[in-house]
C-alpha cells in the first residue's frame, strides 16, 4: 500500500513540475496588439522642363542659301512622372499666327515613345508629343529651332510653350 | 476566616498566572507569494491615413508620407531577451513600401524596418533585447512610399500586429 501511495505521490509531483514548466512556456509565446493602417496612392501626373526661358536670336545669314540662318537651342530636357494609365504628353504654343517659324524637335531618352519627333508650332493647336505613357517616369531632350525668311522681316516674337500630361 | 482569606488570595494569584500564561500563546500563518510571467503590450490607437499625393517629374519614387501620431507601451517581467516583432495581415504589392520604426528605452530599436512583405509566418524584429520592466508611450513611426510604376492604390486597410515575445 505504501509503495502504491509513493507512486501516486511521485506522479503528482512530476505532473505539477511539468505543468509549471509548460505553463511558463505557453506564457512565453508572447502577446500582441494590432493597429489598422490605411494606405492610398492617388493618381499623380508631374511634368517639368529645365529651361523656363529660351532666347533664340536670328542674327546670321547665309550667302549661299540667301536666307537668315536658323537659331537653335538644344539644352532643354523635358521630364515627367505618372502613376496613371494611358497618358500622353502634348505640346502647344500660345501664338496663333506667328511670323517666324518655331520648330520643336523631341529626342527620346529612356524608352520615351515619341509621337511626332518634329512639331511646327505655327498655331495654338495642341500636338501629341509623347504617346503611351503609363506608370513610369521618363524624359526627352527638347530642341527648339527658330527660322525666318527674308520676307518675314525683323521683330520680336514670344511663345509660351505648354507641355501637358493628359489622358490619351 | 483566615483560611477563607488564604483561599481567596490563592485563587486571585492563580488567575493572574493563568492570564500571564495565555498572553504567550502565538498563532502562525503560512503565506505563499507567486508572481506569474506578465506580458503586456498595447498601442494608443490607429495612425492616420497614409496617402501619397505628390512626386517629382522624372523620378519614379513618389514622395513618401509618414505618421508618428501613435505610441505603444509594454510591461514584462519575463527576461531581458524579450523582443517585439511586427507583421501585416497580408503583404503589400510590389512597388509599395511600408516601413515601421518603434522607439524604445528598454531595448534596442531596429530603426526603420521594411514590413511590406512581413506576414504572420515571417514577422520581423522591430525591437530586441528588451529588459524587464515597463516602457510607456514609445513612439511608433510609419513611412509609406510608392513607385509611380506601381500605379495608383485605392484606399486600403492593413492590420499591423505587434507581438511581444521571447
Q: Which stretch of DSSP H or E encloses residue A47?
A: strand A45-49
Domain CATH for A163: 2.60.40
Asked if the Cβ–Cβ distance from A36 to B154 is below 8 Å, we say no
Confidence (pLDDT) at A18: 57
Q: How confident is the model at residue A29 (pLDDT cuts 50, 70, 90)?
A: low
Query: Is residue A13 included in any domain, yes or no?
Result: no
Q: Which residues of A touch B149 (CB under 8 A)?
A: 83, 135-137
Asked if the Cβ–Cβ distance from A37 to B153 is below 8 Å, we say no
Unique residue bearing C-alpha cell 506580458: B39
At residue B28, φ and ψ (nearest 5 deg) are -125, 150
Torsion of CA B19, B24, B25, B27, to 10 degrees: 140
Q: What is the count of structural domains for chain A?
A: 1
pLDDT digits 0-9 by tens, B30-61: 999 999 999 999 999 999 999 999 999 999 99
| Burial classification of residue A9, based on how many CB atoms lie within 10 Å of its CB (0-12 exposed, 13-18 middle, 19 or more buried) | exposed
Pair type for strands B124-130 and B108-109: antiparallel
**Containing domain of residue A74, as a range?**
45-167
Q: Which residues of A touch B55 (CB under 8 A)?
A: 44, 46, 81, 83
Query: Is residue A23 included in any domain, yes or no?
Result: no
Residue B81 has pLDDT above 70, yes or no: yes
Give me the residues of B, 112-141, that contact A with CB < 8 A: 140
Unique residue bearing C-alpha cell 517659324: A101
Query: Is residue A126 included in any domain, yes or no?
Result: yes
Query: Is residue A107 included in any domain, yes or no?
Result: yes
Nearest CA in chain A to B140: A35
Q: What CA–CA distance (Å, rounded) separates B22 from B116?
A: 76
Residue A138 has pLDDT above 50, yes or no: yes
Confidence (pLDDT) at B2: 67
Confidence (pLDDT) at B17: 52
Q: How confident is the model at residue A111 (pLDDT cuts 50, 70, 90)?
A: low
Q: What CA–CA distance (Å, rounded) separates A33 from A27?
A: 16
Best mutation target among B47, B55, B58, B83 (most A Cβ atoms within 10 Å) is B58
Q: How confident is the model at residue A10 (pLDDT cuts 50, 70, 90)?
A: confident
Asked if the Cβ–Cβ distance from B150 to A83 is below 8 Å, we say yes
In eight-state DSSP terms, residue A97 is: S
Confidence (pLDDT) at B18: 56
Query: Is residue A67 included in any domain, yes or no?
Result: yes
Q: How far is CA A70 from CA A61, A144, B50, in A?
A: 8, 10, 52
Percentage of chain B modeled with pLDDT above 70: 86
Best mutation target among A36, A40, A43 (most B Cβ atoms within 10 Å) is A40
Query: Is residue A36 included in any domain, yes or no?
Result: no
Mean pLDDT of B77-100: 96
Arithmetic mean of pLDDT over chain B:
92
Torsion of CA A47, A72, A116, A86, to 10 degrees: 0
| Burial classification of residue A167, based on how many CB atoms lie within 10 Å of its CB (0-12 exposed, 13-18 middle, 19 or more buried) | exposed
Ordered DSSP codes for A50-61 = S-S--------E
Pick the range with the lowest mean pLDDT from A40-44, A111-115, A133-137, B85-89.
Answer: A111-115
Confidence (pLDDT) at A119: 94
Residue B128 has pLDDT above 60, yes or no: yes
Confidence (pLDDT) at A65: 81
pLDDT digits 0-9 by tens, A46-63: 999 999 999 999 999 988
Mean pLDDT of A62-90: 93
Residue A26 has pLDDT above 50, yes or no: no
Pair type for strands A61-62 and B82-88: unpaired
Unique residue bearing C-alpha cell 523620378: B59
CB–CB of A102/A72 below 8 Å? no
The beta-carbon neighbor of A39 closest among B40, B144, B166 is B144
Query: Is residue A52 included in any domain, yes or no?
Result: yes
Q: What CA–CA distance (Å, rounded) separates B1 from B51?
A: 110
Q: What CA–CA distance (Å, rounded) separates A82 from A135?
A: 5
Query: Is residue A10 included in any domain, yes or no?
Result: no
ipTM beyond cut 0.95: no
Unique residue bearing C-alpha cell 505640346: A91
Confidence (pLDDT) at B124: 98
β partners of residue B161: A34, B87
Across A11-20, A60-69, A90-99, B95-104, the highest mean pLDDT is recorded for B95-104
Amino acid at each position: 500500500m505504501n509503495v502504491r501511495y509513493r507512486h501516486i505521490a511521485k506522479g503528482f509531483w512530476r505532473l505539477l513540475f511539468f505543468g509549471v514548466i509548460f505553463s511558463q512556456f505557453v506564457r512565453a509565446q508572447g502577446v500582441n496588439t494590432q493597429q489598422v493602417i490605411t494606405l492610398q496612392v492617388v493618381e499623380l501626373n508631374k511634368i517639368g522642363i529645365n529651361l523656363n526661358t529660351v532666347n533664340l536670336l536670328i542674327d546670321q545669314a547665309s550667302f549661299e542659301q540667301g536666307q537668315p540662318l536658323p537659331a537653335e537651342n538644344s539644352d532643354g530636357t523635358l521630364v515627367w512622372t505618372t502613376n496613371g494609365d494611358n497618358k500622353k504628353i502634348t505640346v502647344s504654343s500660345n501664338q496663333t499666327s506667328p511670323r517666324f517659324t518655331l520648330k520643336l524637335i523631341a529626342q527620346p531618352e529612356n524608352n520615351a515613345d515619341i509621337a511626332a519627333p518634329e512639331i511646327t508650332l505655327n498655331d495654338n493647336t495642341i500636338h501629341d508629343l509623347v504617346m503611351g505613357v503609363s506608370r513610369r517616369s521618363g524624359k526627352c531632350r527638347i530642341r527648339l529651332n527658330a527660322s525666318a525668311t527674308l520676307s518675314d522681316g525683323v521683330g520680336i516674337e514670344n511663345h509660351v510653350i505648354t507641355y501637358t500630361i493628359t489622358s490619351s | 476566616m483566615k483560611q477563607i482569606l488564604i483561599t481567596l488570595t490563592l485563587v486571585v494569584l492563580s488567575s493572574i498566572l493563568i492570564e500571564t500564561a495565555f498572553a504567550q500563546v502565538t498563532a502562525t500563518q503560512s503565506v505563499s507569494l507567486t508572481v506569474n510571467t506578465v506580458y503586456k503590450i498595447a498601442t494608443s490607437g490607429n495612425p492616420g491615413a497614409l496617402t501619397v499625393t505628390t512626386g517629382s517629374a522624372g523620378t519614379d519614387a513618389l514622395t513618401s508620407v509618414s505618421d508618428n501620431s501613435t505610441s505603444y507601451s509594454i510591461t514584462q517581467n519575463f527576461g531581458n531577451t524579450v523582443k517585439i516583432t511586427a507583421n501585416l495581415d497580408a503583404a503589400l504589392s510590389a512597388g509599395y513600401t511600408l516601413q515601421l520604426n518603434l522607439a524604445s528605452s528598454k531595448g534596442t530599436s531596429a530603426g526603420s524596418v521594411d514590413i511590406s512583405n512581413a506576414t504572420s509566418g515571417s514577422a520581423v524584429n522591430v525591437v530586441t533585447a528588451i529588459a524587464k520592466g515597463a516602457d510607456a508611450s514609445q513612439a511608433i513611426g510609419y513611412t509609406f512610399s510608392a513607385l509611380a510604376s506601381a500605379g495608383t492604390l485605392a484606399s486600403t486597410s492593413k492590420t499591423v500586429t505587434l507581438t511581444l515575445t521571447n
